[in-house]
Copies of this chain bind each other. A is one copy, B any other.
Amino acid sequence: MAPNPRGARIFIAEKGLIIPTQEINILAGENLTPAYLRINPWGLLPALALDDGTVITQTPCICRYLETLHPAPNLLGRDALETARIGAWERCSEMNGQNAIAEFCRNQCAPLASRAVPGFAGVKALPELVARGRQRAAWYDEQMENQLATSAYVAGPRYTAADSTAQCAMDFANAVGLPVPAGHQHTLRWLQNLSTRPSATA
C-alpha cells in the first residue's frame, strides 16, 4: 500500500519489465532491522538490488535508472522541457501529496508512535500533525484538480510517471481516510481512467 514501493512497481509494469520483489513490512518495522539496513542504511523503501550487489535507493532514482536502460515506453520525458515538467509534478505529489498524507496517518497510527517520520526510529508522533496533514493534503488535491481540469494527464497530454506518482499518493490517501473530494470531477475521472490500466494492480 505504501506509495513509494507501489510507484516503483507501477513504473516497472508500465515498462513491461519483470523484476523479482520482496515485501518488507513497514508497520512491523522490518525496514529498520539490521538485515534491511544493510541493504538501505536510510531504512526507506523501495530499494533496487542489482545482480552485482549494488543497491539503488529512492523511487525517482530507481525509475530514472530503469528508464535509461529501458527507454521505451518513455515515462520520464522526451525532451528537456517535458522532463522538467514531469519532474516538478512528481515532486508536487511527493512533497505535498505523499508527505501530507504520511503526516496525517503516521501521527495517529499506534504501531508508528515512535516512527512518525519515514525511515528511522525515535521520532515521536505529534497529534497536532494529523490536522496539518489533512490541511496540506487538501491543498494538494486542489492543485491536482486545477491541473487536471485543463490537462488530460498530470504533466500534459500523455501518460507519464507524473501520473503514477499522483495515483499512488491519492490511492494511499483514500486508503487512510483522505479520499479525493467528491466534487473533484476532473481528478476522479482521471483516477478512474488510471485504475483500468493493467499496471494499477502492480
Contact = CB atoms under 8 A, between A and B. Distances in A.
Interface string A117-139: 10010111010110010011001
Interface residues of A, number: 36
A61 B91 contact: yes
A39 interface: no
Given A117-B136, A128-B126, A128-B128, A61 B41 contact: no
A156 interface: no
* Main SS class of interface, A: helix
A68 interface: yes
B87 A58 contact: yes
A130 to B, nearest CB: 12
A62 interface: yes
A60 interface: yes
A103 to B, nearest CB: 10
Interface string A61-83: 11011001100000000001101
A123 B143 CA distance: 17
A87 B60 contact: yes
Contacts of A96: 42
A21 interface: no
Interface of A: 41-42, 54, 56-58, 60-62, 64-65, 68-69, 80-81, 83-85, 87-88, 91-92, 96, 117, 120, 122-124, 126, 128-129, 132, 135-136, 139, 143
8 contacts: A56-B81, A58-B88, A60-B87, A62-B84, A64-B80, A65-B80, A65-B84, A124-B132
